[in-house]
Structure formats: structure tokens, C-alpha cells
């Protein structure tokens, strides 16, 4: 089930919220867990046991580690089980295929499909077990509470990766206050609109480009920009919905995106893009490897390892690995030579980073390296692609306003304008009603539009599901 | 920053909308058909252990939930309005409005599809017509994108290349070019089809092309397509074509005119699939979901029109799509018998059991819409 679908929005969610708030607080974790298993099972019922087994092993090893029963062995066993499941399901065929290519041996591939969200909940499980091992948090003695933390549907299939120490307190005790619920609703509706109205529409443009028989230089550039925006709106929209739902239920998930398109460097970009993944790798891989408190050579190696893994986390394919390593190289170059200049520059740093984002996501969206390089070559007029075609003019004209709106929305401008307006109108008693009416109209208008887009079109992919 | 009141307003209003739609979704009676989109709507899927385990129930429930959503057309209209007015997108779901017409983009040209259609026509000719003493003709009905797409900046297929490709694959068929006779006004505003009252000249050109040899032995009085004047009739209900509902926004209804020749009183139309008699103009269907189906009752695989007052021995086999339904009545005064074949619904090799090609004129009349999507054609012959 996806957040941006009618079954979730108008069947599952209202029913769940009615039951959740109707039952006494002590039963809410159970309700949330059962709802989450139903939510997960809706898409892939056969993978529910995988999720439950993952939780059971994490629960048992967490307790054993806390009790001091061979903690290191327990940690390693738990990590092997977690990463082993992820490795077999997600990377098994990648390694087998490459091994087969290298050796020419007729090795059969595994008949396995990737369980939805496995990359996210595996990382959450690891975070829990490691935190218990580091004695940062006590082991969770209540199985329902731990299972609820791992399986919680707002962040189960597409993140953000919620670290156990961030919400350990709220798992046990949380309050529902109107301010939080209202914030959650706002955030959820805005995320929904980002996903359904903007990301899906940009996706149509990108699909049109890929299916086109007459691509051109201008079309390729527009596609590059549109795809980078699509993946941002798709993923950040989903994160907004997750954070919003969390707030409605009383959880505070940390932010996952902070306007990555305004970054001045790749270093800054990774502080603004998929923050929960970046911080996970920082805390559980980069720092344990020694971080930057090692020799320069080792430091650079650590960076490449972390960014190689970050890329590889996104998918079992060479282009994801190269995508991650591309950022690793950039980060090293920035740390070595560029960062200070980028920080002090006025405009070209934004242009540099914008191009980096566009080029890197071309690789991200390609089936293989060859396809990615092909698009890149087309952008620079290599090959026989014309500069512009009638088809390009038509499709770019059709999506131009949307792309411009998406570009502006990817900066803090819109939020800034709304914040300023709210402050002005809510300051004076006589203009407060204007804000109330205006905000309500905007939220309901967005909701109406979202429903219109959902019932009118069938184009509703979700990019981060494959991770 | 927000006051308690602001927060409560957001919770109550948005919460109410979700709750109201939730209840509405649960209690709303199931609709079987979307009149605006001309398609059946998904009903509640069957809930079984098997359908849950293999995920079919969930997959079908998604379609059901979307199809049965309350006020669906209103929400769609809102979306189209936003896309047009705010995003400046003049085309929605491939449907655009220009010069008072709604049309659906047909792009790009699929040469393989055109070749496939041509090869099927050619093989039908080879097998049925070549040695049967008749002559075969080919004509192409352009869709209205020819007149609307390119001039208004929409992508358009290369019609010249389409004609060239089809002619190249059908060397034994005599091509009759009707493109110069057509303009956008000859088509309904909200439907892909042409208006019957506007295509008399097209029918005459085709008849003249097919009767050139016959006319040489014919008395002038027998040139019946020219001498008969049809009566122009108007359907009493406004017509909303197939694009009207798909488009999303409200559109105006338009008139349907139909032409009656004196010969029609004596004609018998037989549906060879059911062996039942049907009218040339089906007034029941005119009141139905697709009024264009009034012309020879819409999609029919095999029809025979017998005109006892038509020129003796003159027969026409018309391979056609839906455009053929409205032009075929205009051929009636010139033939004693017309057989309409729609190879989208009947296989080419089956025709030998139903159709006698001996001495008949054969016309392949197909729209560019079908030629560019010829996967639906089953004219391939699997005869040993």
C-alpha cells in the first residue's frame, strides 16, 4: 500500500485513526503494530514473515546483549542475520550475475523478489541492536513495542530511517496534542501534493522522454532537470507524509530533506539530501572506521567506502555504486581543494552543484552506465541528436510551468512566503480569520487536486520503493 | 506560531473531509459503468485466501477504489481545470481542445503497424479477390489530428509516410485518395468520427473510382449515386462524443444528422454473426451510451445489406472500421448487396465460409487510427 493511493487515504488511514484514538493509550502500540503488519502485508503478504523474523532476532539479541551474554557474538550474529537477509534478497543476484560473467560458469540465479522496504527496516534493526550494544539505550523488553518501532507503517517502506534512540521514549510514552496533530495534517497534505501533483507529473515528462523516438539536446537537458526534481519531490513528499503521520500519532521523526537544491557543494548537499541515510552511514560506518581522525589516505578511503555503500544501498547495480563513488570523489576533491572557494562564491557554486545534481541523477535513473552516459552525451550534442525538435518544443512547453514551479518549490522561497504571511496575518486580531480561511482553503484545495489526479490518472509510481 | 484555534480549524476541516469520504466510499452504491469515459467500472473484487495470498485482491481493490470514488467526475474536472488553467497544459490524457474540437493525440507514426495492416490487406486480396474477377481498392480516412495537431503546435504523425508505407505494402490495391475532400468540419467536435452528412462527396469519389469501369457499360440513369438525393434527418438528442467524457471538462452537445435514401425502405440488413435483421439506423442505440453506434449498430464483425432496388449483380465487400459504419449507407443505392467486414472482430481465414467474393468490388477503408494501431486486426490468413 502506498500513501498516495485511494485505498490508503480513504479506507485504511481513517479507519486506523478512528481505532487508534478510540482505544486506551496502553493499547495503541498494539493497534499500530497490527495496522502496520496489515499495511505491509497488503502489498506483499508473503514477506510479512521475513519482517517478523527480523524483528524477533533483533528483540532476542537486544535482550541477550543487555544481559551481557556474549554481547559481541550476539551483535555480530544479529548483524549477519540482518545484513545476510538484505544481502541475499537484494544483492544475491547482482553478485551471482557478475560472478557468472567473470567466470563463465553456468550458475543459476536466485528466484527472489525484493521485499518492499527491506533496506529501511534492516537499517533500523541494526541501529537498535548497535545502540543497545553501545549501551546508549536499554534493550526493549516489550516485544510489541520493538515490533511497532520497526514495522511502524508511516516509515516502514520508504523511511526516513528512524533511529531507535530518537524515539525510544515516544515508543513507551507519547502524547497527542492538537498542535502536533494539526502540524502533522499540514505536513501530510503538503507531502501528498508534492508526490501526486508534482512528482507524478514530472514523472510523466521523464517517461515521455525515455519513450521518445526524437530526443534532442534541449529535451535531454529538460529531462535531466525534471528527473532530479521528480526524485526530490517523490522522496521528500513521501518523507513529509511520514513525518506528518508520525506527528499525528505522537512521534517526532527527524527531517530527511532540507532544500538540497540550494546546496553550494556536494558536502552541503549530503547534509540536506536523505539526511537519515547519511547520518546512519556516518554513525554506524564512517565513525567506526575512524572517520577523519586517521591518516589522510585512510580518511579518503573511509569516504569512498561510505559513499560506495550509500550508492549501493540504493540498488544492486553498478550505476548506483558509481553514483555513490562519484559523490565520494567529489567530496574528497571538495575537502582537499574546493570547499572554501565554494563556500565563499556567490553564484557559480549553486550552478556547479545544480549541474552535479542533474548529472548524478542521470546515472541514478539509467538502467546501466551506458544508458546514463548516452543521455549525458546527448546533453552535450554528441551523436546525431538535433539541438531541438518539434516534439521537444511541444513537451517542454507543456511541462515548463510545472518545472518552473517545482524549481521554485525546491527552494525555501515558498515556505518563507507562507511563513511571512502567517506571521503578518496572525499578529493582528482582525486579520487572523484571513489566515484561518486561506490556509484551510489551500489545504482542502490541495486535497481536492490530489484526489483529482489520483482518480484521473494511473501514473503513480513510487521511486524509492525499489530501494 | 499558530494559535489553538488555528490548529483546531485545520484538524476539524481536513479531518472531516477524510472522514466524510471514508464513510461515503463505504456506503456508496457501486456504479457499473462510467458514462463519461465510456468504460465499465471495476466492481468489488472477490475476497478469497488465494486472491489475498497472490496479491490479486489488493491489486484489483486499488482499481475498484479509484473507479468507485465518490464524485469522481467532479474531482477529475478539478484536476483538468488545474492542469489547463494553472499549469498551462492544453492536453490532458492525450486529449486536447483546438478550434472547437476535441481530439486525441495519435503520435508517433508506427510504420511497423502500418506495414502489418498493409500486409494483411494484401494477403486478403491475394487469397480472396485476385482470382474472383473483382477489383480491390484502398482508401485511408485521416483522423482529425491531420487538421488540428501540427497547425496548433501538437506533435503529429507523418501522414504522407503512412500513406506511402501502406501503398507500398498493398501494390495490388488501387488507391483512392480522399484526403483532399476532408477538413476538420467534417468530423464531430467531441468524437473521432466523421459526420455522415459531410462525407457525401467522399462517398461519391469512392463510388466513382469503383464504378469507372462499370459506368462505361451503364446508362446515365443507372449512375445512382449521383441521381438520388438523400433526406437529411436530425437526431432529437444532443451528441456527446467519446472524447467529451475522457476530456474531463464540460463540453457542449452537438447534433447528429443522418441521411436517408429512398432505397433504404426496401433494404434488409442482416447481422451474419447472429443471423438477425438490424436497422440501418438503430434508434435504440442512438439513445444509448455511444450514439454513433446508431450507424449500422456499431461494432459488428460481419453485416450484409441487401438492396433489392439496387443495380442487379453489383456487389461490394467493404473491409472497414467504425468509420465505415456511417459511410456504408451512402453506398447502398449503387449496390444490390454490400457486405461489411470488420477484421478486428473476425479472422481473415474464416471469411471463406461467409463471404462470396466473386465479381464483387472490394474496398479496404481504414482510418489512420486503426492503421497506426493495427495489432487489433486479425486479417492474417492461416489457411493451408
pLDDT score at B1: 60
A31 in any annotated domain: yes
Share of residues in chain A with pLDDT > 70 (%): 98
- Let me know whether A365 and A443 are in one domain: yes
Higher pLDDT, B132 or A27: A27
In a domain, A68, yes or no: yes
Residue B214: is its pLDDT beyond 50? no
Rg (C-alpha) for chain A, rounded Å, is: 23
Q: How far is CA A94 from the centre of its chain?
A: 22
A449 within 8 A of B78, measured Cβ to Cβ: yes
Restricting to B residues 236-265, those with a Cβ less than 8 Å away from any Cβ of A are 248
Q: Residue B259 sits in which domain range?
A: 110-376
DSSP percent split of chain A into helix, strand, coil, nearest 5: 75, 0, 25
Q: Is residue B381 part of a domain?
A: no
Chain B residue at shortest CA distance from A48 = B53
Active site residue A314: yes
Tell me if B105 is assigned to some domain: no
Where does a domain end: B48, B65, B98?
Answer: B98
Is residue A168 domain-shared with residue A206, that is, in the same domain?
A: no
Residues A58 and A166 in one domain: yes
Judged by a CB distance cut-off of 8 A, whether residue A429 touches chain B is no
When the pLDDT of each residue in chain A is averaged and rounded to a whole number, the result is 90
Check residue B382 and give its pLDDT: 60
Say what the pLDDT of residue B368 is. Answer: 95
Domain boundary, last residue among A174, A194, A225: A174
Residue B221 has pLDDT above 50, yes or no: no
Domain count within chain A: 2
Strands (E), A91-204: none
Query: For residues A153 and A253, what is the distance between their CA atoms, to the nearest angstrom?
Result: 13
Which residues fall within 8 angstroms of residue A331, CB to CB, at 6 or more apart?
A: A266, A267, A270, A303, A307
| B169/B271 same-domain check | yes
- 67-106 in chain B: CB under 8 A from chain A: 69, 72, 75-80, 82, 86-93
B76–A455 C-beta distance less than 8 A: yes
Are residue A150 and residue A197 in the same domain, yes or no? no
Which pLDDT score is estimated for A382? 83
Q: What is the ipTM of this complex?
A: 0.86
Both A62 and A128 in a single domain? yes
The answer, yes or no, to whether residue B218 has pLDDT greater than 60, is: no
Q: Quote the number of domains for chain B.
A: 2
At B2 the pLDDT is 63
Helix (H, G, I), strand (E, B) or coil at A107: coil
The reply to whether B83 and B48 lie within a common domain is yes
For residue B299, is it within any domain? Answer: yes
C-alpha distance from residue A99 to each of A93, A319, A320, B88 (Å): 10, 17, 18, 51
From A94's Cα to the closest Cα of chain B, the distance in A is 26
Using pLDDT thresholds of 50, 70 and 90, give the confidence band for residue B383. low
In a domain, A69, yes or no: yes
**CB spacing of A178 vs B19 below 8 angstroms:** no
Please check the confidence at residue B216 and state whether its pLDDT lies above 50: no
pLDDT digits (tens, 9 = 90+) for B155-174: 899 999 999 999 999 999 99
Sheet of B91-92: strand order equals: B91-92, B95-98, B101-104
* A133 & A239 share domain: no
- Note whether residue B56 is domain-resident: yes
Closest CA to A190 of A247, A240, A259, A233: A240
Task: Based on the fold, state whether residues B156 and B73 are members of the same structural domain.
Answer: no
The pLDDT tens digits for A22-61 are: 999 999 999 999 999 999 988 778 889 999 999 999 999 9
Identify whether the C-beta of residue B366 lies closer than 8 Å to the C-beta of residue B117: yes
Place of cell 521514549: A169
Range of the domain at A449: 180-264+345-456
**Domain-located, residue A467:** no
> pLDDT digit string (tens) for A211-258?
887 889 999 999 999 999 999 999 999 999 999 999 999 999 999 999
Per-residue pLDDT band for A466 (boundaries 50, 70, 90) equals: very low
Q: Of A174, A194, A219, which residue is a domain's last?
A: A174
In a domain, A205, yes or no: yes
Across residues B129-147, what is the average pLDDT? 91
Q: Is there a contact between B261 and B338 (Cβ–Cβ < 8 Å)?
A: no
A119 and A41 in a common domain: yes
How much of chain B exceeds pLDDT 70, in percent? 94
What mean pLDDT comes out for the span A410-438? 88
Indicate if B28 and B163 belong to the same structural domain.
no
Mean pLDDT over B5-23 rounds to: 90
Domain boundary among A174, A202, A224: A174
Q: Are residues A15 and A86 in the same domain?
A: yes
A164 plus A190 within the same structural domain: no
Assess if residue B139 is contained within a domain: yes
Q: Are A210 and A148 in a shared domain? A: no
Check whether residue B62 and residue B187 sit in a common domain: no
Check whether residue B116 and residue B78 sit in a common domain.
no
Indicate if B76 and B125 belong to the same structural domain: no
* A207 and A107, same domain (yes or no): no
Same domain for A154 and A205, yes or no, is no
Note the pLDDT tens digit of each residue in A331-348: 999 988 888 888 888 889
**How many Cβ atoms are within 10 Å of A140's Cβ, its own excluded?**
23
Q: Is A425 exposed, middle or buried (0-12, 13-18, 19+ CB in 10 A)?
A: middle
- On the 0-12 / 13-18 / 19+ scale of CB atoms within 10 A, A259 is middle
Amino acid at each position: 500500500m502506498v500513501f498516495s493511493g485511494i485505498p490508503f487515504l480513504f479506507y485504511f488511514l481513517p479507519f486506523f485513526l478512528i481505532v487508534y484514538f478510540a482505544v486506551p493509550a496502553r493499547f495503541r502500540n498494539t493497534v499500530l503494530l497490527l495496522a502496520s503488519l496489515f499495511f505491509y502485508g497488503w502489498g506483499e503478504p508473503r514477506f510479512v514473515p521475513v519482517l517478523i523474523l527480523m524483528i524477533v532476532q533483533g528483540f532476542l539479541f537486544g535482550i541477550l546483549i543487555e544481559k551481557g551474554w556474549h554481547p559481541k557474538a550476539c551483535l555480530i550474529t544479529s548483524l549477519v542475520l540482518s545484513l545476510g537477509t538484505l544481502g541475499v534478497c537484494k544483492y544475491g543476484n547482482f553478485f551471482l550475475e557478475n560472478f557468472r560473467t567473470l567466470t563463465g560458469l553456468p550458475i543459476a540465479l536466485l528466484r527472489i523478489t525484493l521485499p518492499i522496504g527491506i533496506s529501511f527496516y534492516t537499517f533500523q534493526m541494526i541501529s537498535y541492536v548497535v545502540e543497545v550494544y553501545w549501551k546508549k539505550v536499554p534493550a526493549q523488553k516489550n516485544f510489541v513495542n520493538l515490533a511497532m518501532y520497526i514495522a511502524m507503517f508511516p516509515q516502514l517502506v520508504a523511511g526516513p530511517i528512524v533511529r531507535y534512540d530518537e524515539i525510544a521514549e515516544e515508543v513507551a510514552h507519547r502524547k497527542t496534542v492538537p498542535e502536533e496533530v494539526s502540524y502533522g495534517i499540514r505536513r501530510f497534505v503538503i507531502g501528498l501534493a508534492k508526490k501526486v501533483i508534482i512528482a507524478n507529473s514530472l514523472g510523466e515528462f521523464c517517461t515521455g522522454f525515455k519513450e521518445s523516438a526524437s530526443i534532442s539536446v534541449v529535451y535531454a537537458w529538460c529531462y535531466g532537470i525534471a528527473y532530479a526534481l521528480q526524485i526530490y519531490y517523490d522522496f521528500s513528499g513521501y518523507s513529509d507524509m511520514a513525518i506528518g503521520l508520525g506527528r499525528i500519532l505522537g512521534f517526532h521523526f527527524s527531517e530527511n530533506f532540507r532544500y538540497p537544491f540550494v546546496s553550494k557543494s556536494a558536502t552541503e548537499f549530503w547534509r540536506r539530501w536523505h539526511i537519515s541515510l547519511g547520518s546512519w552511514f556516518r554513525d554506524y560506518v564512517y565513525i567506526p572506521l575512524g572517520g577523519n581522525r586517521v591518516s589522510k589516505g585512510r580518511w579518503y578511503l573511509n569516504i569512498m567506502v561510505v559513499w560506495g555503500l550509500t550508492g549501493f544501498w540504493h540498488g544492486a547495480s553498478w550505476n548506483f555504486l558509481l553514483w555513490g563513488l562519484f559523490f565520494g570523489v567529489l567530496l574528497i576533491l571538495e575537502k582537499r581543494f574546493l570547499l572554501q572557494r565554494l563556500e565563499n562564491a556567490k553564484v557559480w557554486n549553486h550552478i556547479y552543484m545544480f549541474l552535479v545534481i542533474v548529472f548524478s541523477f542521470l546515472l541514478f535513473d539509467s538502467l546501466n552506465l551506458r544508458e546514463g552516459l548516452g543521455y549525458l552525451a546527448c546533453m552535450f550534442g554528441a551523436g546525431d541528436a538535433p539541438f531541438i525538435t518539434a516534439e521537444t518544443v511541444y513537451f517542454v512547453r507543456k511541462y515548463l510551468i510545472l518545472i518552473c514551479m517545482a524549481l521554485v518549490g525546491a527552494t525555501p522561497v515558498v515556505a518563507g512566503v507562507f511563513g511571512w504571511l502567517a506571521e503578518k496575518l496572525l499578529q493582528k486580531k482582525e486579520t487572523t480569520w484571513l489566515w484561518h480561511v486561506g490556509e484551510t482553503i489551500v489545504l482542502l484545495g490541495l486535497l481536492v487536486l490530489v484526489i483529482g489526479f489520483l482518480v484521473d490518472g494511473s501514473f503513480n509510481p513510487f521511486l524509492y520503493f525499489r530501494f | 506560531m499558530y494559535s489553538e484555534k488555528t490548529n483546531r480549524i485545520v484538524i476539524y476541516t481536513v479531518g472531516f473531509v477524510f472522514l466524510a469520504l471514508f464513510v461515503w466510499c463505504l456506503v456508496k452504491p457501486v456504479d457499473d459503468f462510467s458514462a463519461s469515459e465510456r468504460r465499465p467500472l471495476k466492481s468489488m473484487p472477490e475476497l478469497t485466501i488465494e486472491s489475498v495470498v497472490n496479491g490479486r485482491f489488493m491489486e484489483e481493490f486499488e482499481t475498484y477504489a479509484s473507479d468507485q470514488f465518490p464524485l469522481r467526475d467532479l474531482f477529475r474536472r478539478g484536476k483538468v481545470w488545474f492542469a489547463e488553467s494553472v499549469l498551462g497544459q492544453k492536453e490532458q490524457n492525450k486529449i486536447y481542445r483546438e478550434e472547437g474540437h476535441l481530439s486525441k493525440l495519435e503520435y508517433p507514426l508506427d510504420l511497423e503497424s502500418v506495414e502489418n495492416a498493409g500486409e494483411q490487406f494484401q494477403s486478403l486480396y491475394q487469397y480472396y479477390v485476385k482470382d474472383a474477377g473483382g477489383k480491390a481498392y484502398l482508401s485511408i480516412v485521416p483522423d482529425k489530428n491531420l487538421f488540428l495537431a501540427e497547425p496548433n503546435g501538437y506533435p503529429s504523425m507523418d501522414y504522407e509516410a503512412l500513406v506511402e508505407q501502406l501503398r507500398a505494402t498493398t501494390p495490388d490495391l488501387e488507391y483512392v485518395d480522399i484526403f483532399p475532400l476532408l477538413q476538420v468540419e467534417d468530423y464531430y467536435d467531441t468524437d473521432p468520427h466523421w459526420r455522415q452528412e459531410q462525407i457525401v462527396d467522399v462517398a461519391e469519389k469512392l463510388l466513382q473510382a469503383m464504378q469507372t469501369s462499370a459506368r462505361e457499360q451503364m446508362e446515365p440513369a443507372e449512375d445512382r449515386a449521383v441521381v438520388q438525393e438523400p433526406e437529411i434527418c436530425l437526431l432529437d438528442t444532443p451528441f456527446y462524443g467519446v472524447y467529451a467524457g475522457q476530456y474531463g471538462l464540460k463540453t457542449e452537445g452537438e447534433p447528429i444528422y443522418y441521411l436517408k435514401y429512398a432505397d433504404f425502405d426496401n433494404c434488409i440488413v442482416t447481422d451474419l454473426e447472429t443471423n438477425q435483421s438490424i436497422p440501418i439506423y438503430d434508434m435504440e442505440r442512438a439513445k444509448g451510451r455511444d450514439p454513433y453506434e446508431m450507424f449500422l449498430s456499431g461494432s459488428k464483425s460481419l453485416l450484409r445489406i441487401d438492396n433489392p432496388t439496387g443495380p442487379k449483380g453489383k456487389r461490394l465487400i467493404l473491409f472497414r472500421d467504425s468509420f465505415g459504419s456511417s459511410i456504408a449507407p451512402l453506398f447502398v443505392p449503387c449496390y444490390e448487396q454490400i457486405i461489411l467486414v470488420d477484421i478486428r472482430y473476425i479472422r481473415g481465414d474464416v471469411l471463406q465460409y461467409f463471404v462470396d467474393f466473386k465479381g464483387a468490388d472490394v474496398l479496404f477503408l481504414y482510418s489512420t487510427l486503426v492503421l497506426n494501431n493495427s495489432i487489433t486486426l486479425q486479417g492474417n490468413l492461416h489457411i493451408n
